[in-house]
Structure 1
Amino acid sequence: MAAACARKLSKVGWQILESQSCRPGKVFSLVPRSSLHGSSRAYGTGGSGFRSKLLFAPPLHGGSRILGCAFLLGGGIGLYQTIKFSVQQHLAEEKSKVSEGEIKLTLYQYKTCPFCSKVRAFLDFHGLPYDIVEVNPVMRKEIKWSTYRKVPILMVNGEVQLNDSSVIISGLKTYLISKGKTIPEILTCYPEMKSTNDRGKEVTEYNNKYWVMLTEAEASLLYPEKDSRKEEIKWRRWADDWLVHLISPNVYRTTGEALASFDYIVREGKFGTFEGFCAKYVGASAMYVISKMLKRRHNLQDDVRQDLYKAVNDWVAAIGKKRKFMGGNQPNLSDLAVFGVLRVMEGLQAFDDMMENTKVKFWYKRMEKATQNHEGKI
């Protein structure tokens, strides 16, 4: 309706300007009379008879063109406002459609944590937007609201909390494939189990955390090759139980590497000035000692680089020469897990040595491209 009125005003304006009747005494014959019905008496406009005088008195010199321009200007402004409103309304409707069913994700993390890096690799590959809250590793005040005191923690819509990197990844993959399931419903498939480890420390584990919970039809689409699901679970477990334990002994292998590693950690993490100074020097010294303890605990060789090289080459050999990724032409969850773990060494001597002395380079570069380009976006 508003657009029609605006077009009518513009049309009248053009008629006034272009017709031969744009002469004194004839200009008002072009104005639609339907809007002028009623008494010729004016109300509050200077007394009776003013309206009739205004309508029928001969116009001043040049008045016809002024009036035509006024109609054009009024019509143009009206049309512009109408179009602007329509476009804004359309964009709002489209935004509402796009956002319907979307989830808001907030990741609480340490940037240099391999488990957090796994989750980021998954989110980036699938093109899922997320906010990051970098947690201070000393005070951890950013997660003081949580009874679960480790990272990563992923909050969904500010209400639902997902813990453990593998649960986060399996749960979100289930959500992306099974559109009918909500996050709270999916989480019931990963029950929390508390136990005490061999050192007397209470640990929290999650059943089924390497399983993507799908129907048979959905699973056949995601895992078309025989045993591909078992293979994915095997290597995801391997990344958590073995590969991740090779990182600390390698990045803290010598005092120089330990200092370089903590310099990177302080630079990328969330530390105060004093905390950063203490973390760099005290932390580096402590982790150098701890890395030796980890080497003994996991029965690593004296030269821990050799264990890293072997693990990475075993991974590449399992992919084989005929596949780009463990998942075939596209990365699967084990590709993303291994990539996420290895990525935390970037910029350190251990990473450079690994790239130079193993066959992982080409796979790693493909993974880098796949995550940066969000190639798994659904």
Structure 2
Amino acid sequence: MAAVGGGWRLFLRLRGPWALRGALPRSRGLSFSSSGAPRPGWARRGATIAALAFGASLGCSQALRWSLQSQETRAEQQQQQLPEGNLQLTLYQYKTCPFCSKVRAFLDYHRLPYEIVEVNPVMRREIKFSMYRKVPILLADTGSILQLNDSSVIISAIKTYLVSRKNLEEIVSYYPPVQARNDRGKEVTEYGNKYWLMLDEKETRFVYPAKEARVEEMKWRKWADDWLVHLISPNVYRSPSEALASFDYIVREGKFGPVEGLFAKYVGAAAMFFIGKRLKSRHHLQDNVREDLYKAANDWVKAVGKQRMFMGGAQPNLADLAVFGVLRVMEGLEAFDDMMAHTKIRPWYHRMEAALREARAAN
């Protein structure tokens, strides 16, 4: 607003085009050269004043337009991040699941209040209402209850809703479930379009001012699901001691009965140590799986670049939130400490923590 005020003050001093009346009186007061043309001094002075007046007027107009656009953008951003009073959310999760952590990071950053139901990973009674037997599941109550499955679908659908205000049921229909077979021949449910936000042209320009920003965000969201997630288990179950520490954390944070917890901690740790070895082979990881984790962390930092705080620029985008959500599940474990010590990811990670703290405090 200082630019606007300064522009107007200069404009009023010059009185815009009307200032020329004082500088160039009617021909009765003009001094002419022998050729009959006005003397050059008057012309130069008049041109200078005209240029100043035009510049002040143009600068004022541009500053005012910028101010109004900035106010509109800030209002839209605030509207996008404010909780929806008529959107009641319930997240069914395992706390230590990276896909669930992704959803929590997204909801927290966008200041959306939600209830958590921790699911018992053995019996899964909490989700017996659903044919979809995985987590996360998000129930959204907007008058009628709608079930959203798959972490990336949940994030894309809710983000689309925040930006477009379309009917949520309509939005979810844009992400149809598709039956497919994975690389092991097992039938799985995939979801079409799950990395797309279903926005019109104006809404797309608002979320992605640069065309390449959308492609970049989608690419790295997919990378988080298809690669980064698969580095977690082989790293946190890398050795028997790490596997035991990981399951101690899982039991403490999860929903287990006393007997289930004891069984999970020791039997589960032993099982996951060997499963981690199989996962290493399946995903073609190096013998020292830490090297793949370090490379992934540094690849991400390189993609963000030195000129940006986040991949989203001044604020995290969906790729930032996805990568942070996945990595966060290792906090407190040896793999996480090693990653922070041997890669360049620490500054970005701490910026993400601060962004989420700020969002939670505002909510």
Q: Provide the residue aligned with 1:371 in structure 2.
A: 356
Is 1:335 aligned to residue 316 of structure 2?
Answer: no
1:235-314, aligned counterparts within 5 Å? 235-314=220-299
Cα distance, 1:375 vs structure 2: 8.0
Q: Is the 8 A contact 1:126 1:376 kept in 2?
A: no
Matched residues in 2 for 1:148 and 1:340: separation? 22
Q: Is the 8 A contact 1:125 1:377 kept in 2?
A: no
Matched residues in 2 for 1:199 and 1:315: separation? 28
Cα distance, 1:198 vs structure 2: 3.2
1:161 paired residue among 132, 147, 155: 147
Cα distance, 1:317 vs structure 2: 0.5
Unaligned runs of 5+ in 1: 1-97
2:157 paired residue among 161, 171, 185: 171
Spell out structure 1 runs of 4+ moving beyond 4 A: 98-101, 375-378
The one-letter amino acid of 2:140's match is V
CA deviation map 1:4-55 (0-9, x unaligned):
xxxxxxxxxxxxxxxxxxxxxxxxxxxxxxxxxxxxxxxxxxxxxxxxxxxx
Cα distance, 1:197 vs structure 2: 2.2
Q: Provide the residue aligned with 2:128 in structure 1.
A: 144
2:97 paired residue among 113, 118, 122: 113
SS, match of residue 130 in structure 2:
coil
Matched residues in 1 for 2:211 and 2:84: separation? 36
Question: Greater CA radius of gyration, 1 or 2?
Answer: 1
Is 1:103 aligned to residue 58 of structure 2?
Answer: no
Matched residues in 2 for 1:377 and 1:360: separation? 26
1:10-159, aligned counterparts within 5 Å? 102-157=86-141, 159=145
SS, match of residue 225 in structure 2:
helix
2:343 paired residue among 351, 358, 369: 358
Q: Provide the residue aligned with 2:309 in structure 1.
A: 324
Cα distance, 1:226 vs structure 2: 3.2
Cα distance, 1:374 vs structure 2: 1.3
> Structure 1's 375 and 283: CA in aligned 2 closer, same or farther, altered over 3 A?
closer
Question: TM-score, length-normalised on structure 2?
Answer: 0.75
Matched residues in 1 for 2:268 and 2:255: separation? 15
Q: Is the 8 A contact 1:135 1:270 kept in 2?
A: yes
Q: Is the 8 A contact 1:125 1:376 kept in 2?
A: no
> Structure 1's 100 and 234: CA in aligned 2 closer, same or farther, altered over 3 A?
closer
Q: Is the 8 A contact 2:92 2:137 kept in 1?
A: yes
Q: Is the 8 A contact 1:319 1:325 kept in 2?
A: yes
Q: Is the 8 A contact 1:262 1:283 kept in 2?
A: yes
Aligned residues, how many? Answer: 280
SS, match of residue 205 in structure 1:
strand
SS, match of residue 120 in structure 1:
helix
The one-letter amino acid of 1:195's match is A
Cα distance, 1:334 vs structure 2: 0.2
Q: Provide the residue aligned with 1:60 in structure 2.
A: none
Cα distance, 1:101 vs structure 2: 5.4
SS, match of residue 154 in structure 1:
strand
Q: Is the 8 A contact 1:128 1:377 kept in 2?
A: no
CA deviation map 1:228-270 (0-9, x unaligned):
0000000000000000000000000000000000000000000
Q: Is the 8 A contact 1:266 1:280 kept in 2?
A: yes
CA deviation map 1:251-297 (0-9, x unaligned):
00000000000000000000000000010000000000000000011
Question: TM-score, length-normalised on structure 1?
Answer: 0.72
The one-letter amino acid of 2:343's match is T
Q: Provide the residue aligned with 1:17 in structure 2.
A: none
